[in-house]
Amino acid sequence: MKIIFLGTGGGRFSAINQRRMTGGFRIDNLGGKNYHIDPGPGALVRTYQFGLDPRNIDGVFVSHAHTDHYNDAEIMIEAMTRGMTQEMGYVIGGKSVLSGFESWGPCISRYHQSNSKVLELEAGDVRYFDNCLIRATPTNHGDPKGIGFQIEYKDFKISYTADTSYFPELSKAHQGADILIASVLRPGRKSIKGHMSTSGFIKLVNEIKPKLAIMTHLGLKMITNKPIAEAKRITKLTGIKTLAAFDGMSLDINYNNPARARIVSLKDVDAPYHGSNSKISSYERKNIDKLAMKNNESDEFDLIQRRRFQ
Ligand SMILES: [Zn+2]
Ligand SMILES: [Zn+2]
């Protein structure tokens, strides 16, 4: 199994200035399936940039109705369902994301929910999907219907807090996690309302005692404050191996020993089919067309046909 970070920046301003990317993360090869979690702005482009294929995902999870988490959800769903031509995969999220709640969302149109199995979850809900079990976990954040999750696959548990401040029930909801992924916006003690800072994260790690803890969704203060050194400090304080995620970080997870995950820094690929790439050669263009035809991406096919007859 791999956990791949396509963005480790968090919060509105991190997203606007892209000092760190905001594409969320993928859990790949979990029982043979791939899932994209919180595909924020740039998720699609970052997928290609790090050499992955957006078409091979089996589910999209969106934790709450903030742009840095949902922005690219619909286009990722289009990739998953082959441009909405096939019924495929899961769309998982809270009420605000999928149905709308008060002034929050919906963030994914009914059209984009129509070709996949939809799981609308409230904190505390437990559901099966593919070979896994998902428990929606509570958050204390701006969106009152925001959720995190704990996914269980054959006794192995991956927890994701999503955006939330620290509160005692949070560790109960994530109890038993082998891997804990948390949004940690700021270093130190001072936290912004509805967000976790390092001190809250330390409490959480001490209470849950995962085998591996990962901080992501880093705000501007954290980014400029040496997050790797901060992670080392937390490792020392808690005795739990803690990592600060970085853009393009891929973790090869051994189920028996997640603390010894192999960290790979993915190469920033000059993706040949990235449309904005000016260096693209005509030979490559030809192959893009072929590839599109092979994948039944028929609007492309349509365009090619028309171009020929013009
Ligand atoms: Zn956020
Ligand atoms: Zn948020």
pLDDT in tens, 164-200: 999 999 999 999 999 999 999 999 887 788 999 999 9
Phi, psi (degrees; rounded to nearest 5) at 57: -90, 150
Cα 133 to ligand 2 centroid, rounded to whole Å: 24
pLDDT in tens, 243-262: 999 999 999 999 999 999 99
Mean pLDDT of 239-246: 97
Angstrom distances, CA of residue 212 to CA of 28, 140, 206, 251: 17, 23, 12, 11
Cα 69 to ligand 1 centroid, rounded to whole Å: 6
Mean pLDDT of the chain: 91
Cα 255 to ligand 1 centroid, rounded to whole Å: 28
Instruction: Indicate whether 310 pLDDT > 80.
Output: no
pLDDT in tens, 55-104: 999 999 999 999 999 999 999 999 999 999 999 999 999 999 999 999 99
Tokens coding 251? 């973790």
pLDDT in tens, 40-66: 999 999 999 999 999 999 999 999 999
- Largest Cα–Cα distance of the chain, in whole Å? 69
Residues belonging to the chain: 310
Q: Which residues surround ligand 2, an ion (CB under 5 A)?
A: 66, 163
Phi, psi (degrees; rounded to nearest 5) at 293: -65, -45
pLDDT of res. 278: 45
Distance, in Å, from the CA atom of 146 to the CA atom of 142, rounded to the nearest integer, reads 8
Residue type, position 307, single letter: R
Cα 9 to ligand 1 centroid, rounded to whole Å: 8
pLDDT of res. 189: 83
pLDDT of res. 188: 86
pLDDT in tens, 132-145: 999 999 999 999 99
Tokens coding 178? 């082998």
CB 3 within 8 A of CB 20: no
212-123-109 Cα angle (round to 5): 105
Which ligand neighbours the alpha carbon of 182 most closely?
1
Neighbours of 220 (CB within 10 A): 17
Distance, in Å, from the CA atom of 248 to the CA atom of 227, rounded to the nearest integer, reads 15
Instruction: Indicate whether 126 pLDDT > 90.
Output: yes
145-150-153 Cα angle (round to 5): 145
Distance, in Å, from the CA atom of 151 to the CA atom of 177, rounded to the nearest integer, reads 9
Cα 227 to ligand 1 centroid, rounded to whole Å: 17
Residue 264 contacts by C-beta under 8 Å, 6 or more apart in sequence?
Answer: 249, 250, 251, 252
Cα 193 to ligand 1 centroid, rounded to whole Å: 12
Cα 94 to ligand 1 centroid, rounded to whole Å: 15
* Domains present along the chain, CATH in parentheses: 2-269 (3.60.15.10), 273-310 (no CATH)
State the sign of the Cα–Cα–Cα–Cα dihedral 61, 161, 45, 272. negative
Q: Which residues surround ligand 1, an ion (CB under 5 A)?
A: 10, 66, 68, 163
Phi, psi (degrees; rounded to nearest 5) at 204: -60, -45
Cα 265 to ligand 2 centroid, rounded to whole Å: 26
Scanning the structure block, which residue is given the tokens 């028929």?
A: 298
The model's pTM: 0.90
Cα 4 to ligand 1 centroid, rounded to whole Å: 18
